[in-house]
Structure 1
Amino acid sequence: MKAANLSLSDQDDSQHKVHRLALLVEDNPDHRLPIAAVLEGRGYTVVQSASGEDALRLCRDLTPDLVLSDWDLPGISGLEFCQAFRKLERSSYGYFVLLTTTGDRQALDAGLQAGVDDFLSMPVVAQELLARIAAAERILRVEDELRASNTQLQQALDQLNETQAAIERDLREARKLQQGLVRERSGRFGKAEISLLLRPAGHIGGDLVGFFPINSERVGIYALDVSGHGVTAALLTAQLSVHLSGSSDQNVALRGAQSGGEAVGPGALARFFNNMMLEEMNTDSYFTMIFAELNHSTGALSMVQAGHPHPVLQRADGSIIHLGQGGMPVGVFENPVFDEIEVQLLPGDRLLIASDGLTEATTPNGQQLGNEGLEAILRTNAFLKGHPFLESMAWSVSEYCRGERQDDISAVLLEIREDAQLVRLPRKSR
C-alpha cells in the first residue's frame, strides 16, 4: 500500500478545529503518522492502534467519536472490526471511516452493511481526508444536538411526571374531601327512605346530592350539576354545599324554615341561588338543580326544577311518569323561569332524581341511553331497593358506555315503603 499523500502544510483549516477523540487503526506507521497529523491539526485527540483486536479494547475504554481504520489489518480485518465496533454499547454515535485501496462495488456494499459510514481511498489525499472529516463532524454535531435535546426533553418529562404525580395525589385527596360533602348516603324519615349515588367521571366532579331534615315532618332533598368538570366545577360544588348543609346557621333553606317564612319554598331557594351566582360570584359557570321538600307524614312533595333532568316517578304498579317542564338553569338569566312541581307520593312509589350523566351516557358509536333507556333500567331493577338499585343502575350505565363514561353521574332515590300509613290529603299530581 502506498504511503499517504499528506503534509502538515495541507492543514489550513484550523479555524474549524474541534475537540473530539479519534482512533486511527493502521499497522503501517508510515501511513498512520501523516493522517494523525491532519486529525490533530483539526483539533482531534488522536489515539493510534496497529491491530483490530487492540482497537476494540481501546474502543471499550475510550469511546472514540471518530474511527479511521484500514481494511487490511493483521488479525481481524477492518470490516470485522467495524462489525464488532457497532455491537459495542455506547452513549453516543461513533463515526466509522474505512480506508481502502479497492473500489469494488460488492466490497463497498459489504462495508455499508457492516456499519461503515464512509470510505477513503488510499493513498490518502489531504483535501479528501479533510472533506471526510468535515462530513463526519456534521453528523456528530447533529447527533450531539439531538442527544442534548433528548436530555432536555427527558428532564422536562421527569419534571412533568413529578408534577403530574403531585397533582394526582392532590386530586385523590380532593376526591376524598368531595365525597365527604355527602356525609350520609342514606336516611329514613318516617316511612320514606332516601339513598344517594355520587360517581365523578374523574377524580372530582361537579355533581352534588344530599338531604337534611327541616323539622319533624319535612325533609329537604337536593341534586345539583355544575357546568363543566374538574377543579372549577368541584370548587363551586363545595361552595354550594355550604348553603345546603345541615348546619342551621349556614343552610339557607333550613334557616328560612326555622323562621317560618315563605322563603323556605323550593322556588324561593332557586331564586336565592340565582341571585347569588349573578351578584356574588365572578364566574361563567352555572348549574342545574332539583330541590324538593317532602312531608314524610303525608307523602306530599314540592319541587323546583331548574334545568335539571326530569325526575322520574315510578308508581307502585310499575307505571312511570317524567315530571316537570324543565325550567331554566341557575346563574344564567336575571329573571329565570323555574318549574315548580307538586306531587303526592303513595306507598310503594319511588322517585328517581338523576343527573344528565345517566340519560346522556353514550355507546362507543354515539347512541344515548335517553329516557327510554332509563325507564328500562327502572323496570328491570324494580325488585331492587335503595343502594342495591343505584349500584345496579350505575353498572348498567357503565356497561352501556363500554366503560367509557365521560360525565359525572349522581342520583337521589326516594322511596315510600309499601307498608306506609300516610296521612290522607287531597292528591295533587302532574
Structure 2
Amino acid sequence: MARPVSFSGMRIHHCLGNLGYAGTMSALNRITLDEMPAPSGHRRVLVVDDSRAQRMMLAIQLRRAGYEVMEADGAETALRLCREARPNFILSDWVMPGMTGPALCHQIRSDGVDDYVYFILLTSKADPSDIAFGLESGADDFLTKPTSASELLARLRAGERILALQDDARSANARLSETLAALRSAQKAMDRDLDEARRLQQGLIGDRDGRFGDYTVSNLLRPAGHIGGDLTGSFAINSHQFGVFAIDVSGHGVAAALLTARLATQFSASVDQNAALYINELGLFESRPPAVLARYLNHLMLTDLHTDAYFTMVYAAIDRETGEARMVQAGHPHPILQRAHGGIEQLGHGGMPIGMLETATYEEFSFRIEPGDRLLIASDGVWDAADGAGRVPGGDGLSTILQSNRDTTGVGLVESMVWSILAHSGGEQADDMSAVLVERAATPE
C-alpha cells in the first residue's frame, strides 16, 4: 500500500485508493510542477465534482502549480461560487447528481458573466458525439479520465493564453471607451462652439428682412453644416440708394466661414468701413461703381489675404426713387428678375470669380426694378441641388418656383423656395444655400 500523504490535517491514502483508476499516487509523485511556468496573475480555479477524493487530488495539483482553488460538490454550489468569487477556470466532472457538467456549463454561459470563464469538462466519455455535445454546451476543452497532472496543467496553460488575450482585449476596450468618452466630450464642446459660430454668422446678415423706402429685402442663409461660406446682406448707401450683395466662398466649413467673416467687414453696416462706399466732393456717401468694387476685392484676395480660396459675388447699388440698379456679376449664378406681370428675365453674363486671376476684368450692367417687380439672387447651392437622377433646378426651376409663388412675398417666399429645392433633392443638401430677395412695392407707400 502507498505511503499516506498528509494534507490539511487529514490522511487521504484511503481516499486515493477509491479514485477509480490505478497508479494515481505514482502519477502524483511524478509531477514536475517546478518545470511548469507559474500562472499569469492570480488565477482562480473552481473544481466541481461530487467525489471529494477527486476534488482533493485535483486541488493538490493545482495549488502546487500556483493556482488558487475553490471546490464545489455539485452544480448548485458551483453556480453560487461563480457569482460570488468569479473564478477564471472551472474543472467540472461530466456526470454528477442533479445537473450534469454540460448543463452547468450551459447555465454559466447563459448567466452572461462579465469575465470569461474557461470551462474544462472531465469525462470518461470518449465517443466523438459526446465530446461534440460537451463543446456545443459551451465548454472550451475536455480531459479524459484518468487525467495526468502534466496534461491538466498544459490544458490550463492553453487556457491561460486565451484569458490573457481576453485581459488584453478588455484593457484595450477600456482604453477605447475612455478615448471615445474623451472624443464625445470634445465633440460636444466643438458642437457648442460651432453652434455659437453659426449664431454669430447668422448675425453677419443682420435682420432677415429690411426696408428701404418702397423696397423690402429678405435674406436666406442655410449652411450645409454647422457653418458655411455663403453670405447675403444689404445696407443703406445714402438717403436715396441702398446696396445688396450675395457672396459664396469656395469650399465649406470653418475655413470658408472665416473668409466669409473677413469679407463681411467689407460690406459693414458701418459706412466708414464699407469698401463699397466712398465720400464724394460734397462730403456725402456714394457707392463705388460695382465693377470697381469687384476689382478691389480681387486684388485684396490675391495680395493681402494669401489664401487659395476664391468666391463668387453679385453686388448691386439700387436707386430707391427710379429703381435703377447697377450690378456686377462675378461668377455667381444669374440674378432672376420677375416683372410685375409675371415675366422672367435672367440677368448678367457670368463673369470671373473673385480671387482667381489678378488680370480678371469685371463689367457692370444696369437694369430697372419697376413697381411690383422682384429680384432674386440665389447661390449655386440652390441652382445646382440635384435629384437622384442628377437633374438640377437651374434657372428654369427657380423661374417655376417664382411663378407658382406669385402671391408669396418676403421671407415666406425664400423659405418656400428652400422647401421646394429640398423636395427636389430628396431632402439632401450638399452645399450651402443662400439667397437675397429684393421686392419693390406695386404702389408707393
Name the TM-score class by shorter chain.
over 0.9
Q: Which of 290, 296, 308 matches 2:332?
A: 308
* Structure 2 counterpart of 1:115: 138
Q: Which of 31, 34, 41 matches 1:9?
A: 31
Deviates more, 1:299-308 or 1:4-13: 4-13
* Structure 2 counterpart of 1:342: 366
- Please report how far the alpha carbon of residue 106 of structure 1 lies from its aligned counterpart in structure 2 after TM superposition: 3.1
* Structure 2 counterpart of 1:379: 403
What is the CA–CA distance in structure 2 between the aligned matches of 1:135 and 1:68, rounded to whole Å?
A: 14
Q: Which amino acid aligns with 1:288?
A: T
Deviates more, 1:223-232 or 1:72-81: 72-81
SS in structure 1 at match of 2:31: helix
Contact 1:305 1:324 in 2 (8 A): yes
- Please report how far the alpha carbon of residue 287 of structure 1 lies from its aligned counterpart in structure 2 after TM superposition: 0.9
- Please report how far the alpha carbon of residue 59 of structure 1 lies from its aligned counterpart in structure 2 after TM superposition: 0.8
1:51 aligns with 2:74: yes
SS in structure 2 at match of 1:363: coil
Q: Which of 211, 228, 240 matches 1:188?
A: 211
Q: Which amino acid aligns with 2:372?
A: G
* Structure 2 counterpart of 1:426: none
Percent pairwise identity: 47
Q: Which amino acid aligns with 1:95?
A: Y
Q: Which amino acid aligns with 1:120?
A: L
1:146 aligns with 2:169: yes
* Structure 2 counterpart of 1:82: 105
Contact 1:8 1:38 in 2 (8 A): no
Contact 2:348 2:365 in 1 (8 A): yes
| Pair 362,7 (structure 1): closer, same or farther in 2 beyond 3 Å | farther
Normalised by the length of structure 1, the TM-score is 0.92
Deviates more, 1:284-293 or 1:310-319: 310-319
SS in structure 2 at match of 1:303: strand
- Please report how far the alpha carbon of residue 207 of structure 1 lies from its aligned counterpart in structure 2 after TM superposition: 0.7
* Structure 1 counterpart of 2:93: 70
- Please report how far the alpha carbon of residue 304 of structure 1 lies from its aligned counterpart in structure 2 after TM superposition: 0.8
Deviates more, 1:276-285 or 1:254-263: 254-263
* Structure 2 counterpart of 1:428: none
Q: Which of 364, 380, 384 matches 2:388?
A: 364
What is the CA–CA distance in structure 2 between the aligned matches of 1:90 and 1:261, rounded to whole Å?
A: 79
What is the CA–CA distance in structure 2 between the aligned matches of 1:160 and 1:346, rounded to whole Å?
A: 56
Q: Which of 260, 267, 279 matches 1:244?
A: 267
1:283 aligns with 2:324: no
Deviates more, 1:127-136 or 1:258-267: 258-267
SS in structure 2 at match of 1:138: helix
Q: Which amino acid aligns with 1:2?
A: Y
Normalised by the length of structure 2, the TM-score is 0.89
Deviates more, 1:189-198 or 1:268-277: 189-198
SS in structure 1 at match of 2:28: coil
Contact 1:25 1:51 in 2 (8 A): yes
1:33 aligns with 2:25: no
- Please report how far the alpha carbon of residue 94 of structure 1 lies from its aligned counterpart in structure 2 after TM superposition: 0.4
Deviates more, 1:241-250 or 1:107-116: 107-116
- Please report how far the alpha carbon of residue 12 of structure 1 lies from its aligned counterpart in structure 2 after TM superposition: 4.1
Q: Which amino acid aligns with 2:66?
A: G
What is the CA–CA distance in structure 1 between the aligned matches of 2:283 and 2:55, rounded to whole Å?
A: 104
- Please report how far the alpha carbon of residue 72 of structure 1 lies from its aligned counterpart in structure 2 after TM superposition: 2.2
- Please report how far the alpha carbon of residue 398 of structure 1 lies from its aligned counterpart in structure 2 after TM superposition: 1.3
Unaligned runs of 5+ in 2: 1-19
Superposition map of 1:157-176 within 5 A = 157-176=180-199
| Pair 405,127 (structure 1): closer, same or farther in 2 beyond 3 Å | same
* Structure 1 counterpart of 2:15: none
Unaligned runs of 5+ in 1: 422-430
Contact 1:17 1:41 in 2 (8 A): no
Q: Which amino acid aligns with 2:273?
A: Q
Instruction: Please report the RMSD computed on the Cα atoms of aligned residues, expressed in angstroms.
Output: 2.0
Deviates more, 1:360-369 or 1:252-261: 252-261
What is the CA–CA distance in structure 1 between the aligned matches of 2:307 and 2:36, rounded to whole Å?
A: 66
Cα displacement string for residues 335-394 of structure 1 (whole angstroms, at most 9, x for unaligned residues) = 212231211222222111111110111113332222221111111112222222111111
